[in-house]
Chain A
Amino acid sequence: MFKSARSILDDKLALIGLSTIIILLVIAICAPSVSPYDPMKINLQERLSPPSLEHPMGTDDLGRDYLSRIIYGTRISMTAAALITMISLIIGLIVGTASGYFGGIVDETLMRIVDIMLAFPSLIITIAIAGILGPTFENLIIAMTVTGWVGYSRLIRSSVLLVKEQDFVVSSKAIGCSDLRVVFDHIVPNAIAPIVVLATLDMGNVILGLCGMSFLGLGAQPPTPEWGSMLEAGKPFMESMPTLMIFPGLMIMITVMAFNFLGDGLRDALDPRIKAKVEI
């Protein structure tokens, strides 16, 4: 693990990704102290002002400081994405471990459900659920979790199956360790590497999804300073004030890229096959 931590630090792109994520996290946590203005404060005198020293990203159509809204948007996107990823991961962990470890009818049933979930185009099902539950940010989070866990459960199941065959698991069962103990002492730590990679890459996709849904109006509603809905709100002013559309998009792209950089780096560092090639 130390070795892979070191090779992450050697990988420049991964390092850029990691530092960007840390900066974004700091911004998200300290949003109230770093943002120069109240993101909701309407000031009609200053509507649609271009970027200036006073308002580094300008103001929107209601005169709200755009930088402050972008900063609060970081907080919203990061929190929601982390929440969705966490819940999906926990569900996936439970389903995948149960399926892989117990096998038989449990596996059969759970994997049929997974197959059916995978047979749905996930975007459509998210749209349908979020839309029918009612377009709020909370409902969007629920809808994205409904489709989010499937990938994890598959991955975890196959990791569990791999680890289960290995001698130390067989032997710890042989000396009488209980099922749950075997799972949590041996299988989970061994399956963790691919899960971390998937979760990191997934964070990026979840943010893309969240912002996309909000852009369609199926997630965060104005006046919430969420990047997707800010982009949607900035669309009519594309010609007069293109910055309203450029900044939120740029932030989404930077955030997603950071997670992709880190995820790629982690995958290269944790994938034993790639390692084996270097070490002969």
Chain B
Amino acid sequence: MNSYIIKRMLAAVPVMIGISLLSYSLLYISPGDPAEILLRLQLGTVNPDAAAVEAFRAEHGLNDPIYIQYGNWLGNVLKGDMGRSFRTGRPVIEEFFARFPLTFQLVLIAEILALLIAVPLGIVSSSMHNSVVDHILRFFALIGVSMPSFWLGLLLIFFISLHLRLIPVLSYGSSMSLVLPITTLCIGSAASIMRLTRASMLEVLRQNYIRTARAKGVNEVQVIWHHAFRNALIPVITIFGIHLGHLAGGTVIVETIFSWPGVGRFLVDSIYARDFPVIQGFVFLISLIFLLISLSIDIAYSVFDPRIRYDVPKLER
């Protein structure tokens, strides 16, 4: 453990508090009196009478000042209690971790595939800058980042499942069911990772130390894969981290199209149902995971970039 890592972790604490604050306050941006909404949802009645609303408030501490309510909520969260879903009656935490592995598996496979495809292509593209190959790869990458994932998913269903009948449309449970959602996620990610790798490589290849390497007589393959690659990888890791960070949330659309019972889809369904404990809990947990991943990426950085490892005050670039 060095001072850089400790510093990064300490800096994450206020951010975590901010996240919890925002997640909790989602209840209050909802139009109308929260007590009334909650009661209506719980009881299923159209118009709860005033006495019932008042009793509900007293019972759930909704008459307390907001910061006390928040404090109580946070206290419970720290104890691992995020309340129960209005819809299913099960604890929010349980609901989350029942679904998280499904989403996680989808994103992890898709992202790793994307990285394996996109980084070499980006490097090839940059090392053949302005050649026909470069132009073709660039063009496809641009299509990839411009293609709406929901449309891509539907097109895949249309061509692969309906037209070619290779994979049944709704096949959750079989391993084949992973193919289409992963392809959808992977294409978008791969395109953006490739664009970034290419841009980053072009930037690095312009640096003086690349000229030094060439002046030393290092061959072009080594210049690209040894000298440039590690420098160029640094921004790529960031993007990879952000993509991974979306592993709990960014898949909502894909999960909806392919009826994948993951975290994102449950969240959207809960939003429709105004299931506030689930909304608050899921948003908090998803953001927390996102934060933890970006934290680990920052730490992974220091492996690739010694300037950060030694924590120099001013980064010369």
| A residues in contact (CB < 8 Å) with B | 112-113, 115-116, 119-121, 123-125, 127-129, 131-134, 204, 208, 211-212, 215-218, 228, 231, 235, 238-239, 242, 245-246, 248-249, 252-253, 256-257, 260-261, 264, 273, 277
| B287 in contact with A121 (CB, 8 Å) | yes
CB-based nearest B residue for A201:
B145
20 contacts between A and B (CB under 8 A): A112-B15, A113-B18, A116-B19, A120-B22, A123-B252, A124-B252, A125-B283, A128-B267, A128-B283, A129-B26, A129-B29, A133-B31, A215-B150, A216-B256, A245-B158, A256-B145, A256-B146, A257-B142, A261-B142, A273-B203
**Known contacts A131-B272, A249-B155; A121 and B147 CB within 8 A of each other:** no
Q: Which 6 A-B pairs have the closest CB atoms?
A: A131-B271, A249-B151, A116-B18, A124-B249, A257-B146, A256-B146
Q: Which residues on A sit within 8 Å (CB–CB) of B252?
A: 123-124, 127, 216
A131 to chain B, nearest CB (A): 3
Q: Does B279 contact A (CB under 8 A)?
A: yes
Interface residues of B in 233-257 (CB under 8 A from A): 245-246, 248-250, 252-253, 256
B39 to chain A, nearest CB (A): 17
**Known contacts A120-B22, A133-B31, A245-B154; A252 and B15 CB within 8 A of each other:** no
| B245 in contact with A121 (CB, 8 Å) | yes
Q: Which residues on A sit within 8 Å (CB–CB) of B11?
A: 115
Which of B29, B143, B250 contacts A132 (CB under 8 A)? B29
Q: Does B306 contact A (CB under 8 A)?
A: no
- A134–B32 alpha-carbon span in the complex (Å): 11
Which of B18, B143, B250, B272 contacts A119 (CB under 8 A)? B18
Q: Which residues on B sit within 8 Å (CB–CB) of A134?
A: 31
Q: Does B85 contact A (CB under 8 A)?
A: no
Q: Does B76 contact A (CB under 8 A)?
A: no
| A132 in contact with B30 (CB, 8 Å) | yes
| B30 in contact with A212 (CB, 8 Å) | no
B32 to chain A, nearest CB (A): 10
Residue among A115, A133, A239 having the largest count of chain B Cβ atoms under 10 Å: A115
A260 to chain B, nearest CB (A): 5
| A133 in contact with B30 (CB, 8 Å) | yes
| A127 in contact with B267 (CB, 8 Å) | yes
| A239 in contact with B162 (CB, 8 Å) | yes
By the criterion of a CB under 8 Å from any partner CB, how many residues of chain B are at the interface?
46
Interface string of B19-47 (1 = CB under 8 A from A): 10010001001110000000000000000
B241 to chain A, nearest CB (A): 12
CB-based nearest A residue for B152:
A249
CB-based nearest A residue for B28:
A132
- A218–B154 alpha-carbon span in the complex (Å): 19
Q: Which residues on B sit within 8 Å (CB–CB) of A261?
A: 142
Q: Does B294 contact A (CB under 8 A)?
A: yes
**Known contacts A121-B286, A133-B29; A212 and B253 CB within 8 A of each other:** yes
Q: Does B313 contact A (CB under 8 A)?
A: no
| A238 in contact with B31 (CB, 8 Å) | no
Which of A116, A123, A133, A238 contacts B158 (CB under 8 A)? A238
Q: Which residues on B sit within 8 Å (CB–CB) of A121?
A: 245-246, 248-250, 286-287, 290
Which of A112, A120, A132, A217 contacts B287 (CB under 8 A)? A120
Q: Which residues on B sit within 8 Å (CB–CB) of A245?
A: 151, 154-155, 158
- A239–B159 alpha-carbon span in the complex (Å): 10
CB-based nearest B residue for A135:
B272
**Known contacts A121-B286, A242-B158; A252 and B148 CB within 8 A of each other:** yes
- A258–B267 alpha-carbon span in the complex (Å): 33
Q: Which residues on A sit within 8 Å (CB–CB) of B26?
A: 128-129, 132
Which of A125, A127, A218, A253 contacts B151 (CB under 8 A)? A253
Q: Does B268 contact A (CB under 8 A)?
A: yes
- A211–B274 alpha-carbon span in the complex (Å): 22
| A260 in contact with B19 (CB, 8 Å) | no
- A218–B265 alpha-carbon span in the complex (Å): 13
- A206–B211 alpha-carbon span in the complex (Å): 40
- A248–B151 alpha-carbon span in the complex (Å): 9
B74 to chain A, nearest CB (A): 15
**Known contacts A128-B283, A249-B151, A249-B154; A215 and B253 CB within 8 A of each other:** yes
- A121–B244 alpha-carbon span in the complex (Å): 11
B243 to chain A, nearest CB (A): 11
- A9–B197 alpha-carbon span in the complex (Å): 26
- A228–B286 alpha-carbon span in the complex (Å): 25
Q: Does B79 contact A (CB under 8 A)?
A: no
| A123 in contact with B249 (CB, 8 Å) | yes
CB-based nearest A residue for B12:
A119
Q: Which residues on B sit within 8 Å (CB–CB) of A127?
A: 249, 252, 267-268, 271
| B146 in contact with A253 (CB, 8 Å) | yes
| A123 in contact with B143 (CB, 8 Å) | no
- A264–B73 alpha-carbon span in the complex (Å): 46
CB-based nearest A residue for B253:
A212
Q: Which residues on B sit within 8 Å (CB–CB) of A211?
A: 148, 150
| A132 in contact with B271 (CB, 8 Å) | yes
- A266–B307 alpha-carbon span in the complex (Å): 32
Q: Does B224 contact A (CB under 8 A)?
A: no
- A236–B162 alpha-carbon span in the complex (Å): 13
Residue among A124, A132, A242, A252 having the largest count of chain B Cβ atoms under 10 Å: A124
Q: Does B157 contact A (CB under 8 A)?
A: yes
- A204–B145 alpha-carbon span in the complex (Å): 10
| A212 in contact with B148 (CB, 8 Å) | yes
| A260 in contact with B154 (CB, 8 Å) | no
